[in-house]
Amino acid sequence: SERTLVLVKPDGVRRGVVGDVISRLERKGLAVVAMELRTLSRETAEDHYAEHRERPFFGELVDFITGGPLVALVAEGPRAIEAFRALAGATDPVKAAPGTIRGDHALEIGENVVHGSDSPESAAREIKLFFPELG
Ligand code: GTP
Ligand code: MG
């Protein structure tokens, strides 16, 4: 079994789709093993998205992700990382297939409702950043 870090980003919280995201991942067979509503500091946001530091949209990304409360959770199950990325759909919500979270709930790349870790290394790093108590 594997763990992945999922964020329902501030746009998702604002639009009231937290329950839908949790419902979809539970229906798929993943289990929520930690969860918290919180507003990120700029420092945590910059840390979380460190791989994008040099990208032209980095400032916008940090403004957006710190702009309101988000829900951070750890989901667990077989191939949880890949499984949640499949539920989320493509990064660009216009290209995301209908039936996926982004395909059903979003229109703009900068406001795409959810985050999911993209590799075992990212998952370990991100889970430690958000839930250090999980070890
Ligand atoms: P995350 O799960 O949030 O990490 O998304 P991802 O893994 O599908 O995409 P990636 O890590 O490549 O990009 C991180 C986030 O940056 C995306 O979710 C987008 O919200 C944002 N992003 C990516 N490309 C662009 C862009 O061209 N413009 C803007 N404004 N945001 C972008
Ligand atoms: Mg990513």
For residue range 69-78, list pLDDT tens digits in order: 999 999 999 9
Q: Does 1 have pLDDT greater than 80?
A: yes
Of 48, 52, 105, 115, which one is the catalytic site residue?
Answer: 115
**Strand 2-8 with 114-116, pairing:** antiparallel
Torsions phi, psi of 71, nearest 5?
Answer: -110, 120
23: number of Cβ within 10 Å:
11
pLDDT tier, 135 (very low <50, low <70, confident <90, very high otherwise): confident
Domain that holds residue 124: 2-134
84 is in an annotated binding site: no
52 among known catalytic residues: no
Which atom of ligand 1 is nearest to 60's Cα? Answer: 30
pLDDT digits (tens, 9 = 90+) for 23-64: 999 999 999 999 999 999 999 999 999 999 999 999 999 999
Q: What is the CATH number of the domain that holds 66?
A: 3.30.70.141
pLDDT tier, 20 (very low <50, low <70, confident <90, very high otherwise): very high
Q: How far apart are CA 41 and CA 104, in angstroms?
A: 29
Q: What is the pTM of this model?
A: 0.97
Q: Which of 101, 109, 125, 89 is nearest to 4 (CA)?
A: 125
102 is in an annotated binding site: yes
Domain count, the chain: 1
